Chains A and B, each alone.
Chain A
Amino acid sequence: MNAVTDPILTIRDLNKTYAGGFQALKNINLDINEGEIIALLGPNGAGKTTLISVICGIVQASSGSVQVAGFDIVKNYRKTRSMIGLVPQELTTDSFESVWSTVAFSRGLFGKSARPDHIEKVLKDLSLWEKKDDMIMTLSGGMKRRVLIAKALSHEPTVLFLDEPTAGVDVSLRKDMWNIVEELKAAGVTIILTTHYIEEAEEIADRVGVINNGQLILVEEKTKLMSKLGKKQVTLDLTESLTAIPSALCDYSLELSEDGNQLIYTFSTGGDRTGVTALLDDLKLANIHFRDLNTTQSSLEDIFVNLVEESS
């Protein structure tokens, strides 16, 4: 029997209303397990960054509570913040500092003694070693993003927040970063990621949370989500065009293309039976023949778009 472990991050009834009256978070409840990668998806202004900012201590919650490893983020802020690393969305760096000194500064700020070997490893992993003595203002946007990641990793966090970490970065950094994410996950680090690149979430996340208008619409294991809400379509290229769907086939969820040359059958990937075999039998009985058949499956992006549209 597997031992049941307490979540590393527990969010209860969390609300945030800004001074202007805008409610950015509405009653958020979420448990995040140790060592998992959870992707928070949501359109711009959904509340993702506010949620991260509250947990990290940058924004004050209006009500509710957040615990990290059982410690309250307000009462035990030293414990919780020392466990957390944050890569912010904006490229906010100390322009006049060198790469090495700004990363070393972060480690000290988070209460860790100097460990040049660790900083060297982080910089090498992020392909920043050659730039360690360069002033940050001389670096490209992608390099600055690497510096922010290095700063967050400098103090060896056990919970890492990556707020849109791949926004505006090249393929090389993405690859480096996902390699590091894999390494961190293997080392037991919990990773909370927000991204607009849904294919990234689809590729690396264990669970997916969808936020819209400050509400957490759902949190689900990625595979279950794809299976539960994912759809598959079978498109049949007919040998003879139809003017309408025959009454014998009206029990199926069928669509006829405008030119009458294609029949499109949509079914849920989560169902026990797809109905495809029965459909093909009934088509034969109705004397409808097809030349070709192809299938498509909805991506996480399609699921996300549908969820957001439904909740809006």
Chain B
Amino acid sequence: MNVYAILAIYKFEMARTRRTLVQSIVAPVISTSLYFIVFGAAIGSRITEVEGVSYGAFIVPGLIMLNLLMHSISNASFAIYFPKFVGTVYEVLSAPVSTVEVVAGYVGAAATKSIILGMIILLTATFFIDIQIEHPIIMLLFVVLTSITFSLLGFILGIWADNFEKLSVVPSLIVTPLVFLGGSFYSTEMLPPFWQSVSLLNPVLYLVSGLRWSFYEIAEVNIIVSLASITAFMLLCFSLVVYMFTTGYKLRS
């Protein structure tokens, strides 16, 4: 195991975050605060409760999930796409590192950033509303699993993309709609039966539901199903990354 390489990549990526602190941390905190002001205070004051929880508290897991997904994908995709774009990827490709070590460095750093961000958003939320976390370990597990999984997805995206447009297509045209339609800001029980069934096809629903269960023990789908889904998706993404590195897909000509 080339531990020095993992640490080198990890530190390199974390240093990049320190250089872009405003973009990485401050911007998401401000946007989250705005969500709380608009949805929690302005609109939420007119909605009494959702499934026994105040509306402001209800949207917290959804907001955390939205940020985890978006930032995991963008951090990890940029981390591998940029070296490809400027050509510095030659060094990683010619280094004595295995796929697992490369992934541990890049995805580990991207996931760490997302986890820190998730915790900051949670902290920010406490300034606006009272929050209770019934199952903090499960909550943490969901945050970690989601961050790793979507960082892996971002890594795949970064390898696949050969221009900046492709890099932004998946987060903006696929993930954002899925998050907004995945019960982040509403309970699917508010929807007509047909759309409730359609919502079950949205994978993000399982993540939001699982995270919300860890907070308030309310869920659209069983917590075990949620955990199994995110684990299965993580394994699928990891397998794809291994395949890409083994075959050299869009990395080695």
CB contacts (< 8 Å) of B7 on chain A: these are: 108
* Contact indicator B97/A109 (Cβ below 8 Å): yes
If A105-B12, A109-B8, A111-B2 touch, whether A58 touches B93 (CB-CB below 8 Å) is yes
- A151 close to B (CB within 8 Å): yes
B227 to chain A, nearest CB (A): 35
CB contacts (< 8 Å) of B19 on chain A: these are: 96
CB contacts (< 8 Å) of A19 on chain B: these are: 253
Interface size in chain A (residues, C-beta < 8 A): 35
Q: Which of B1-56 contact A (CB under 8 A)?
A: 2, 4-5, 7-9, 11-12, 15-16, 19
- B192 close to A (CB within 8 Å): no
If A94-B88, A105-B8, A108-B4 touch, whether A56 touches B253 (CB-CB below 8 Å) is no
CB contacts (< 8 Å) of A96 on chain B: these are: 16, 19
- B248 close to A (CB within 8 Å): yes
B100 to chain A, nearest CB (A): 12
* Contact indicator B90/A95 (Cβ below 8 Å): no
Interface size in chain B (residues, C-beta < 8 A): 26
CB contacts (< 8 Å) of B91 on chain A: these are: 106, 109, 151
- A82 close to B (CB within 8 Å): yes
CB contacts (< 8 Å) of B98 on chain A: these are: 78
- B94 close to A (CB within 8 Å): yes
If A18-B253, A59-B253 touch, whether A109 touches B86 (CB-CB below 8 Å) is no
CB contacts (< 8 Å) of B86 on chain A: these are: 92-95
* Contact indicator A60/B90 (Cβ below 8 Å): no
A58 to chain B, nearest CB (A): 5
- In angstroms, Cα B97 to Cα A108, docked, is 11
Q: Which of A15-62 contact B (CB under 8 A)?
A: 18-19, 56-60
If A59-B253, A92-B87, A101-B15 touch, whether A108 touches B94 (CB-CB below 8 Å) is no
- Taking a contact as CB atoms closer than 8 A, the residue among B2, B12, B92 that contacts A78 in the complex is B2
* Contact indicator A92/B96 (Cβ below 8 Å): no
What are 30 inter-chain pairs, A to B, with CB distance below 8 A?
A18-B253, A19-B253, A56-B93, A57-B93, A59-B253, A60-B252, A78-B2, A84-B94, A86-B94, A93-B86, A94-B86, A94-B88, A101-B12, A101-B15, A107-B4, A108-B4, A108-B7, A108-B11, A109-B5, A109-B9, A109-B95, A109-B97, A110-B5, A110-B95, A111-B2, A111-B5, A111-B96, A112-B4, A113-B4, A151-B91
Which residues of B are interface residues toward A (Cβ below 8 A)? 2, 4-5, 7-9, 11-12, 15-16, 19, 86-88, 90-98, 248, 252-253
Known A57-B93, A78-B2; 16 more pairs at CB < 8 Å: A57-B252, A59-B252, A60-B252, A78-B96, A78-B98, A79-B96, A88-B90, A94-B86, A94-B88, A101-B12, A105-B8, A105-B12, A108-B8, A110-B95, A111-B95, A112-B4
